[in-house]
Amino acid sequence: MKVFKFGGASVKDAEGVKNVSLVLESEGFENCVLVVSAMGKTTNALEKAVQNYFDKTDYQTEIEKVKQDHLEISKGLFQEHHPVFSEISLFFDDIESFLRRNKSPNYNFVYDQVVSCGEMISSKILSEYLNDIQFKNHWLDARDYIKTDSNYREGNINWEETQRKISELDHDTCFVTQGFIGSEANNFTVTLGREGSDYSAAIFAYCLNAEAMTIWKDVPGVMTGDPRKFENVNLLSNISYEEAIEMAYYGASVIHPKTLQPLKQKNIPFYVKSFLEPKKPGTKVGSSEQNENQETYILKENQNLMRISTRDFAFIAEEHLSQIFALLAKHKITISLMQTSAISFVLCVEDKYDHIDDLNQELQINFNSEVVKNVSLFTVRNAKLEDLNKFYENKNILLEQISKKTIQVVTN
């Protein structure tokens, strides 16, 4: 089987949904699983509704806007009395009903039950449209197949159960399902982390022993830098799993960091291609003698720089580091870069859940600590070290680190 993943930009409107069928016509629609994200900016809108719910402000208006957007998109795809319209309304009725009945104060739990509806609705619309135009498929609820623990918003996969369930799928059938979501033992929805739809596709590919996996983006493939942020970038035609994993770890947004490990384990080729130009080759990630190691540029924004030292100027020792790492884990703050010296520990961190102030407050019980917010981490892979100076031009350097052919600088 093949696994295709279509992101929110590819299904943001009726024309986008129609274009998916053109991509499938170009690629072939036999024996495949389509994993689809929420349409356009739906996730952001539903996140706002959840925030309003907890702020005790008007969340119903936000939900109604999302509902009307999906109904409007569907008008461009279906005849007036198509059953998909009532199905869309039912999804939104479920959201409203859940929020009216909910007694849980757990923000992450509520978030997952509400925000996941974006994927449910987009996949239902795509599945119904493809069936109408004779691309026959079965709609799957991914929550019946991807099983997780109860770590809401960052679910950890129960691989044994997930493998058992997905392997039961008929390999001679085409399926449309959701990215980003799974479910825990009590069948409550658990999301897999922001941008987790790529990971969902990799899970299906791994469990199905897929022939290949393709992610369809609005870019030609993996570039040597984000063309919106860097000039004179070009396409990487072939890169290794290891290089792609490094790029994803350092913040290359075109690839989700968790996506590559399952594919590498089974040596499943992974393609990144443009849904606007499906005939073009894009980027192949996998084992190949043609793998490239070009100089690549990655900018990771909205980071925080933390400087931590002992109160008595004692050396930063193992017991200090264990305390710091425990607090980082507690507050779900991830490390992008770290550097230690005799009496200080400097971290560039990502704070997805706005916990940085709470972390800093706890650190200050036992350490001296300060935070510089809203910094950027600039990484150069396969850097030509003889050209080092060009990476420092017009930058206020807060932290730098060079290892082999990787240069990293934190700037503000």
Give the whole-angstrom CA distance, residue 222 versus residue 204: 22
Q: Is the pLDDT of residue 139 over 70?
A: yes
- Predicted confidence at residue 56, as pLDDT, reads 96
pLDDT digits (tens, 9 = 90+) for 305-334: 999 999 988 899 999 999 999 999 999 999
Is the pLDDT at 206 greater than 80? The verdict is yes
Mean pLDDT, rounded, of the chain: 93
Q: Indicate whether 33 pLDDT > 80.
A: yes
Please give the structure tokens belonging to residue 66.
Answer: 């999302």
Of 39-43, 75-79, 304-308, 382-386, the range with the lowest mean pLDDT is 382-386
**pLDDT at residue 48 tops 70:** yes
Q: Which residues pair with 368 in a beta bridge?
A: 309
Which residues of 286-382 form beta strands (DSSP E)?
296-310, 334-340, 344-350, 367-381
- Please count the other Cβ atoms lying within 10 Å of the Cβ belonging to residue 127: 22
pLDDT > 90: percent of the chain:
80
Instruction: Please say if the pLDDT value at position 291 is more than 80.
Output: no
Q: Are strands 406-411 and 344-350 parallel, antiparallel or unpaired?
A: unpaired
Give CA–CA dist 244/256, Å, rounded: 10
- CA 180 to chain centroid, in Å, comes to 8
Residue 399 neighbours by CB under 8 Å, 6+ apart: 305, 337, 339, 346, 348, 409, 410
Write out the two tokens for 307.
Answer: 């400087």
Instruction: Report yes or no: 352 and 335 within 8 Å, Cβ to Cβ.
Output: no
Can you give the pLDDT at residue 140?
97
pLDDT in the model for residue 388: 64
pTM score:
0.90
Tokens found for residue 327: 């607090």
Per-residue pLDDT at 395 exceeds 90: no
**pLDDT, tens digit (0-9, with 9 covering 90-100), for 377-388:** 999 998 877 666
Inter-residue contact 200 to 271 (CB < 8 Å) = no
Number of Cβ within a 10 Å radius of residue 155: 25
Which of 26, 125, 36 lies closest to 82 in space, CA to CA? Answer: 125
How far, in Å, CA of 372 to CA of 370, rounded?
Answer: 7
Higher pLDDT, 211 or 393: 211
Please tell me the distance from the alpha carbon of residue 76 to that of residue 13, in angstroms, as a whole number: 9
Least confident of 263-277, 287-301, 319-333, 379-393: 379-393
Contact between residue 153 and residue 116 where contact means Cβ atoms under 8 Å apart: no
Confidence bin at 346 (pLDDT 50/70/90): very high
Digit-coded pLDDT (tens) for 228-259: 888 889 999 999 998 898 888 888 877 877 89
Sign, Cα dihedral of 261, 211, 5, 186: negative
Nearest Cα to Cα of residue 148 among 112, 105, 104: 112
- Nearest of 293, 206, 287, 290 to residue 240 by alpha carbon: 287
